[in-house]
Chain A
Amino acid sequence: MDQYGDSLFHFALARVKDKEIAEDLVQETFLAAIKAQERFKGHSSEKTWLFGILKHKVIDHYRKNKSTVHARNLLNDPDNVDAFFNAKGGWQTHPAHWQTNPGKVHEVKEFLDHFYRCLSDVPQRSADAFVYREIDGLSTEEICARLDITANNCWVLLYRARMLLRKCLELIGLGRQQEANSK
C-alpha cells in the first residue's frame, strides 16, 4: 500500500479525473489483490500485477458510467466488423496514420484517456478477451479456459475488439487531423 498507493492513484486520477473515484478505485484494487493473491504467480512484477487490476477497475468504472457519447453510439453496429470492408474486401474507410508515439508522455496520456473509454464500449466478451490478452498478457489457451471458448472463437473476439477499438479511437479524432491536412 505505502509502496504502490501513490503510483496507482496517479494513474487512476489521470483516467477518471475525480479524486474520490480515483481513491475508491485504488482501494478496490488493493482489496481485489488481497482476494486474488493466491493467483499471483510471479510471472510479472507485483507492481505490474496491481496496475493490471487497476486497469480492470478503470474499465469497469467507464462501463458503469456511460455518460459520454462514445463508440456504441458512434459505431452503428458494434457486432458487425464486416461493415468495415466493401464488397470487394477492401477497406470501407482507410485506417488513418496515428501520430501517437507511446514514447511521448503527453501523447500517451491523451491516448490513454480515449483508450479506456473506447474499451468500455466494446461488447463485453470481446473486451474481456482483449483485456486478458493485451493487459494481462494471457495466452490464447488461458483465455479459452477462462471464457470457455475455442481458440478460433478467441481470435474472432480479439479481432473484433481490436477493430472496434481502433475505429472508436479514429472516430473521436485520432489521426483525423493528419488526414485532413493531407487532403
Chain B
Amino acid sequence: MKYWMFRCNDVSQKVSQSLDTSLPFHHRMAVRVHLLMCRYCARFRRQLLTLRRVSRLVEDEPSIDQTTATLSDETKERIKKALRAAP
C-alpha cells in the first residue's frame, strides 16, 4: 500500500505505531491528512490516547476513589509479618 493511499485499516496501524515510535515524515503527513478527513480514525486516535491516560493513572492523580476504607491494623500487621518472613 502506497502511503498516499492509506485507508482506515492502514491508518489505525500507523496511529497505534505513532504512540510507540516516530513515523517517517511522509507517513506522518499522510496520516495527518487522513485524520483531517476521517472522523472515525480521528476518534480512534482519541480512544488510544484515553487508554494511555487511564493506564497511567495512579490512585490520587486525580483521586479516582473516594472510599474511606483503609487496611485494618490487624491486616497491616499480617502483611508486615509476611514481608519480614519473605526470603
Where the two chains meet, the residues of A that have a C-beta atom closer than 8 Å to any C-beta of B are 1-2, 5-11, 13-14, 19, 23, 26-27, 30-31, 34-35, 47-48, 51, 82, 84-85, 88-91, 94-98, 100, 102-103, 105, 108-109, 111-112, 115, 130, 133-135, 137, 140, 151, 154-155, 158-159, 162-163, 165-166
B interface residues (Cβ-Cβ under 8 A, vs A): 7-10, 12-13, 16-17, 19-21, 40-41, 43-44, 46-48, 50-60, 62-67, 69-71, 75-76, 78-80, 82-83, 86
Interface class of chain B by DSSP = helix
User: How many angstroms from the CA of A85 to the CA of B44 in the assembled complex?
Assistant: 13
Q: Which residues of B contact A35 (CB under 8 A)?
A: 86
- How many Å from the CB of A75 to the closest CB on chain B? 16
On whether A91 and B57 interact (CB within 8 A), knowing A34-B86, A155-B20, the answer reads no
Contacts of B78 in A (CB 8 A): 27
| Cross-chain contact A89 with B54 (CB below 8 angstroms) | no
**A166 close to B44 (CB less than 8 A):** yes
The reply to whether A166 and B86 contact each other, CB–CB distance below 8 Å, is no
Q: Is the CB of B86 within 8 A of A31?
A: yes
Q: Is the interface of A mostly helix, strand, loop or mixed?
A: helix
| Chain A residues within an 8 Å CB radius of B59 | 7-8, 10-11, 51
Min CB distance B85 to A, Å, is: 10
Looking across the interface, which residue of chain A has its beta carbon closest to that of B83? Answer: A30
Contact of A34 (CB < 8 Å), options: B12, B21, B71, B83: B83
| Residues A27 and B79 in contact in the complex (CB < 8 Å), given A51-B58, A90-B8, A155-B17 | yes
